[in-house]
Amino acid sequence: MGFPSPAKDYQEDVIELSEYLVQHPSATFYFRVSGDSMINACIPHGALLVVDRSVKPVSGMIVLAVVNGEFTVRRIVQTSKTLVLHPENAAYKPLAVTEEMNMQVWGVVTATVVKYKYDKNDRIG
Amino acid sequence: MIALVDCNNFYASCERLFQPHLQNRPVVVLSNNDGCVIARSDEAKVLGIEMGAPSFLIEPTLQQHDVSVFSSNYTLYGDLSDRVMNTVSRFADQMEVYSIDEAFLNLTSFRYNNLTEYGIAIKNTVTQNTGIPVSIGIAPSKTLAKIANRLIKKRNKHLGVYCLDTMEKMQYALQNTEVKDIWGIGSQYAKLLTRNGFVTAWDITRAPEEWIRKNMSVTGQRMYQELKGISCIAFEDMPPKKKMVCVARGFGKVLNEKNEVMEALANFTAMVAAKLRSEQQAATAIQIFLQTNAHRSGDKQYFRSLTIQLPVATNSTRELISHAQQGFETIYRPGYNYSKTGCTAMDLVPADELQYNIFDKENRERDSKLMKVVDMVNKSFGKNAVRFALQGFGTRWKLRQLKLSPCYTTRIEDILTIRI
């Protein structure tokens, strides 16, 4: 049997990444993105988004929005007059939300998870 | 006061959450095997689609109005139900989960001067956090809370909360509830009451207690009290442990090959065993059955069930399948088109209180270790990654679920991809 490990008393639980990423489990959902329109906000093609519905959207946050029935991910910016959905890639145009548009914030993106896949040249695929 | 929180068109709302273009569109969800309608969005109700309508009968309506149809996805509904219940539970000390989409909250010890406002806070939080719309009825008893909930859904769904906090409101609610719509009234009592001139719930509360006592059982007397605002149905924090576990399903199409039917039964039995283990229960007996489809009028009909007393209560897949197979050999007859089979575990006992039999030849300790490994492997590598040979790899017995949505919230490979 030997002596008990002196480290035993100092043992802690292992790190659970989901605890770090998710503050409100009942209100948190995951989505994946396809496309590069949010690349400058560290959301590359294929990224997994952590979306928290219980967080109140505030100007400047990245949100999962529903525009006329379609999901999209954009930075929401409220100016004195308009509400704008901003892409994070110069190749894409911002969208000013108008009265006729049916826009809802589905949830706030609180984290992005990117898992690397390496190709045979050890480059990120 | 007691609140009943009830999800609006729950299954349809779950499907819509991940397909926002279906907001304001008619949606229906079909039962196992896509047989009949078990949930409808308000827009589908307006089209006159009835609950329980067989899907093949309403096919023209579905086509004509471009109704979105889904097979039932209980994995998705179960997860969203958990989220709703978790969110709701924070609003009261005591909660009773009454069904997948309803929960009672005990607000008795609660000193909040405006319960309607509190109800609105619950409703808004649940809808915001989980995406599932709910309606809330608040009243002095469970039966009245049910009535309040039903009325708000029928008449003022957009308000979503109805609190019977005055005698006037209570009277209004009772006068607008027909006898047959009272919670817990069976069709027999509904008939008896109607025959004796009771039309609404209000009429019942005006009846002499003597009459109720004479003509109705204890349940009837309890209902009478509850309608008068005297709470007498107790709160159950924990759902009572199940006394039975049953998995029985119709096949996607009729089967006449013996090994295919046995394969289906073995799979259902394995599901029963896994359920028992997850609830730390064991079966003392199992009942299996086989049947043909009574609606196929050209077919010879056969139904047989068999109860098998187990030598020792067990939840081992290996043992249960082996008993089910022996039973199957007894009741199987060739030459029929089978449409359904199933296995029910009965007389459940806690798995840690098993009584051993000294003549028992099974190596139970080894078996239970084996089952732990099977459950673990299946948990990490997917359902049925490890299976018993009898379970096979066939698919003909599998459910017809042509319109099954992905398990968006429970399987990482099913996560919805958004084009941005």
The distance of B407 to chain A (nearest Cα, Å) reads 11
Query: Which long-range contacts link B57-61 to residues 24+ away (Cβ below 8 Å)?
Result: none
Taking CB atoms and an 8 Å limit, are A38 and B420 in contact across chains?
yes
pLDDT at position B312: 82
pLDDT at position A62: 98
Taking CB atoms and an 8 Å limit, are B131 and A72 in contact across chains?
no
Res. A80 pLDDT band, cuts 50 70 90? confident
Alpha helices per DSSP H over B279-363: 317-331
Contact B62, B30 (CB under 8 A): no
Across chain A, what does the average pLDDT equal?
A: 91
Distances (CA, A) of B145 to B123, B233, B335, B370: 15, 12, 54, 48
- B9 reaches A (C-beta below 8 A): no
The distance of B21 to chain A (nearest Cα, Å) reads 4
Taking CB atoms and an 8 Å limit, are B415 and A48 in contact across chains?
yes
More confident site: B412 or A73: A73
Q: What pTM was estimated for this model as a whole?
A: 0.74
pLDDT at position B39: 94
- The 3 state secondary structure assigned to B19-77 is CHHHCCCCEEEECHHHCEEEEECHHHHHCCCCCCCEHHHHHHHHHHCCCEEEECCHHHH
Taking CB atoms and an 8 Å limit, are A31 and B415 in contact across chains?
yes
Q: What is the pLDDT along chain B (420 residues), one digit of tens a residue?
A: 999 999 999 999 999 999 999 999 999 999 877 888 999 999 999 999 999 898 888 989 999 999 999 998 888 998 999 899 999 988 988 888 888 899 999 998 776 678 999 999 999 999 999 999 999 999 999 999 999 999 999 888 888 999 999 999 999 999 999 998 999 787 888 888 999 999 999 999 998 888 888 888 888 888 999 999 999 888 876 555 566 888 888 888 889 899 999 999 999 999 999 999 988 888 888 889 898 887 787 888 888 888 888 888 899 999 999 999 999 998 999 989 998 899 989 878 888 755 555 555 566 677 777 777 777 777 776 666 777 777 776 656 665 677 889 989 988 899 999 999
- A76 reaches B (C-beta below 8 A): no
User: What is the percent of chain A with per-residue pLDDT over 70, rounded to a whole number?
Assistant: 96
CA B102 to CA B402: how far, in whole Å?
Answer: 28
